[in-house]
């Protein structure tokens, strides 16, 4: 995230063209001193700030963070919107919830037409979109379509750092059913011993507040037979197939991956990071999937090359306890084995340069996969 208050230099002719073609975001009633951001740039709202102009077409993430009386910042609350050329979007400040909301007036279209006619007079209170970071933003979100935005954003439209949760009745709890039979009761008792979260109250998101991402299948299905557990764990091709079948287009997965990461990177959405993390954990563990879906994995490796350098600091240190690093290493192995060595080498070089990650002995056989030799006593 870039918080840069320096002025942006731009050719006057280019500025006029971008002003004519770009979108406009108008915000009303936001208190002075509130933190405001769009995409990769963050600002502090001043007395004459009323929005942003020259917004390039495509997906953009807008957020605000209110300030307390002692200067403490509230968690970010924002929304995502797919801007069209010359589109005007109007938001107003909700003083009770301290967040931006859609304009609540009788004739919003009339207001937008009035803004369009008087745009020249409003220019001085509209900050230009900072094009110094537009290339970086396009690298992170260039595949996201409007249909993906409409499908994945919360139905209420607002994205928060943490989703709003509510307790659900015992009858609706996934583990709330009564156990029947001695075996079922023993299994339930064993689960309680192995996972103390079974004792915690079950919570579910308040309807309309959570991002609507696709469901990520389990690498090892719950109903897998004992003989199938190892096969699923070593190569989760069935789960990858099930995941890809849930998208209407071939690029649907790539679009969702980029949008989920944008929700996390800009909006600090914990739920979105968890979803992105699940997708990496699934896609990294199937050599067969790389072989059968080469184009998807080529695009995925390019997406990761732009996303991983923006990881939080605690996930940037390579090592056995960094699960992101371990999954990326496994993905690189499967890219080589699945016939995408060029993609693997590009991703490796990018991570070595940006993060200092090294992958020594990447193609060496893992000692855990080697056969175990047992010395039998002599007769």
pLDDT of residue 72: 86
pLDDT of residue 176: 43
pLDDT of residue 367: 53
298 vs 254: CA distance, rounded Å: 11
What is the percentage of the chain residues whose pLDDT exceeds 70? Answer: 84
pLDDT of residue 167: 73
Domains of the chain with bracketed CATH: 12-141 (2.60.34.20), 159-167+184-210 (no CATH), 214-355 (1.25.40.550)
pLDDT of residue 19: 81
- Which of 77, 23, 9 has the alpha carbon at shortest distance from 51? 23
pLDDT of residue 180: 47
pLDDT of residue 270: 93
Alpha helices in the chain (DSSP H): 12-21, 108-117, 119-122, 134-141, 146-152, 181-194, 226-234, 237-245, 252-267, 270-283, 287-292, 294-307, 323-337, 341-354
Per the CB < 8 A criterion, the answer to whether 332 and 343 are in contact is no
pLDDT beneath 70: ranges in the chain: 1-11, 168-202, 365-376, 379
- The average confidence (pLDDT) of the chain is 86
**Residue with the two structure tokens 């990769």:** 40
- Output the pTM of the full model: 0.84
């Amino acid at each position: 995230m870039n918080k840069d208050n320096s002025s942006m230099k731009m050719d006057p002719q280019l500025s006029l063209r971008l002003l004519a073609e770009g979108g406009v975001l108008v915000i009303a009633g936001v208190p002075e001193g509130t933190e405001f951001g769009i995409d990769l740039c963050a600002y502090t709202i001043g007395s004459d700030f009323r929005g942003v102009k020259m917004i390039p077409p495509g997906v953009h993430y807008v957020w605000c963070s209110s300030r307390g009386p002692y200067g403490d910042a509230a968690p970010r609350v924002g929304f995502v919107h797919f801007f069209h050329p010359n589109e005007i979007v109007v938001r107003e400040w909700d003083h009770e919830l301290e967040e931006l909301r859609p304009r609540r007036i009788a004739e919003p279209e009339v207001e937008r037409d009035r803004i369009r006619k008087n745009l020249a007079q409003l220019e001085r209170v509209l900050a230009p979109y900072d094009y110094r970071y537009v290339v970086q933003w396009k690298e992170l979100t260039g595949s996201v379509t409007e249909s993906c935005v409409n499908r994945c954003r919360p139905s209420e439209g607002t994205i928060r750092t943490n989703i709003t949760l509510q307790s659900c009745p015992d009858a609706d709890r996934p583990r709330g059913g009564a156990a029947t039979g001695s075996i079922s009761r023993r299994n339930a008792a064993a689960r309680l011993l192995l996972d103390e979260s079974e004792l915690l109250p079950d919570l579910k998101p308040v309807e309309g507040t959570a991002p609507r991402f696709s469901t990520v299948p389990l690498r090892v299905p719950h109903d897998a037979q004992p003989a199938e557990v190892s096969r699923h764990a070593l190569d989760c091709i069935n789960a990858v197939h099930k995941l890809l079948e849930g998208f209407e287009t071939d690029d649907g997965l790539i679009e969702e991956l980029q949008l989920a990461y944008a929700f996390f990177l800009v909006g600090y959405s914990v739920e979105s990071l968890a979803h992105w993390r699940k997708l990496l954990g699934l896609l990294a563990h199937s050599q067969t999937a790389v072989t059968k879906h080469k184009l998807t994995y080529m695009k995925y490796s390019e997406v990761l090359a732009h996303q991983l350098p923006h990881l939080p600091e605690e996930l940037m240190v390579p090592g056995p306890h960094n699960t992101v690093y371990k999954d990326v290493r496994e993905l690189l192995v499967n890219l080589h084995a699945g016939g995408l060595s060029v993609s693997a080498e590009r991703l490796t070089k990018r991570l070595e340069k940006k993060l200092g990650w090294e992958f020594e002995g990447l193609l060496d056989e893992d000692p855990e996969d080697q056969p175990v030799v047992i010395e039998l006593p002599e007769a």
